[in-house]
Structure 1
Amino acid sequence: MQQPAGVVKLALAVALALGLSACSPIYRNHGYAPTESELSEIVVGIDSRDAVAELVGPPATSGMMRDDAWYYVASRWRTVAYRAPELIERQVVAVSFDDDGTVANIERYAMEDGRVIALNRRVTDDNVAGISFIRQLLGNIGNFDAGQFLGE
């Protein structure tokens, strides 16, 4: 028994529509960066951290807040079908503060600027650099005696 031509055409049209819709990009936005109009309300040399927090809000995560600067980061990602997400836009707004907590500078960077911003400058200097976990375990053999465990 043959299928009517209309049913076959409808099935092909549905299959084509599903196939094309699977390839349409999906866009996701992450983070927040104040707009130029919001930043224009901040007066450099006058406004404090509290004023900035009131006008544009604090950065979304506490890791973006330091004593000398606040960083606002907004990213836009595109995903097409099975491919890995691709970063297509990133905005970083850096609001710098002087020692008194007054706004010293406001800068906006885009992905095209190619600027690397150190969001965290802490450096942990540990004494086990270059020593593997196994070496640390085996290195402790012989550093204790049985009297320590027996309470003698």
Structure 2
Amino acid sequence: MLNKTKTTVVGFCLFAAISCTPVYRNHGYTPSEAQLANLMVGVDTRATAEETIGLPTISDTETGRLYYISSRWRHYGINPPKPISRDIVAVALDSAEVVTNVSRYSLEDGEIVALTRRVTDGGTEEISFLQQLLGNIGRFDASDILSEP
């Protein structure tokens, strides 16, 4: 009986130690310094920039910027994930889509880059499935069903 209890306690301790091991996850992509060195301000265009350093994570059509974003997150047990590092490379373009500036930001800089997510309205306006189904009663015409294609 004592052996079984010891085995259970040791197994529980091992499980607790393994489950509390931090897990790191990497998301996104930022070009390396060597790739950015190949980018020439005032010469390269949007197309050549994308060819040189890759497609951006996000592109802003209003300000003419390309954003390359990568982040590393630490997941530890039941705690919410925390960002360990975040790198943002912003490539500014002028109206002719020529590169005017290349900036690099990180969590340590404290620079706020406003990224918004726009969601297209589905048009259902909080209508439940049953309301949609019952709302279609009476909207059918017999000629729609009886007519031959």
TM-score (norm 2): 0.69
Q: 1:59, 1:65 within 8 Å by CA — same for their partners in 2?
A: no
Residues 85-138 of structure 1: CA deviation (Å, up to 9, x unaligned): 111111110001122211111010001111112346x9xxxxxxxxxxxxxxxx
Q: Cα distance, 1:11 vs. partner?
A: 4.0
Q: 1:58 aligns with which of 32, 37, 55?
A: 55
Taking the aligned partners of 1:119 and 1:79, their CA distance within structure 2 comes to 24
* Structure 1 gap segments, 5+ residues each: 123-152
Q: 2:39 aligns with which of 42, 45, 54?
A: 42
1:75 is paired with a residue whose SS is: strand
- 2:94 maps to 1:98: yes
- 2:11 maps to 1:24: no
Taking the aligned partners of 2:33 and 2:13, their CA distance within structure 1 comes to 43
* Structure 2 gap segments, 5+ residues each: 119-149
Q: Which residue of structure 1 lines up, in the alignment, with residue 103 of structure 2?
A: 107
The one-letter amino acid paired with 2:26 is N
The one-letter amino acid paired with 1:20 is A
- What aligned pairs does 1:1-152 form with structure 2 within 5 A after superposition? 2-3=1-2, 5=3, 9-61=6-58, 64-66=59-61, 68-119=64-115
The one-letter amino acid paired with 1:68 is G
Taking the aligned partners of 1:65 and 1:77, their CA distance within structure 2 comes to 25
Q: Cα distance, 1:43 vs. partner?
A: 0.9
Taking the aligned partners of 2:67 and 2:30, their CA distance within structure 1 comes to 9
Q: 2:57, 2:67 within 8 Å by CA — same for their partners in 1?
A: no
Q: What do you get for the CA RMSD once the two structures are aligned? A: 2.1
1:71 is paired with a residue whose SS is: strand
Residues 43-79 of structure 1: CA deviation (Å, up to 9, x unaligned): 1111111111111112134xx3326211111111111
Q: How many equivalent pairs are there?
A: 116
Taking the aligned partners of 2:77 and 2:114, their CA distance within structure 1 comes to 33
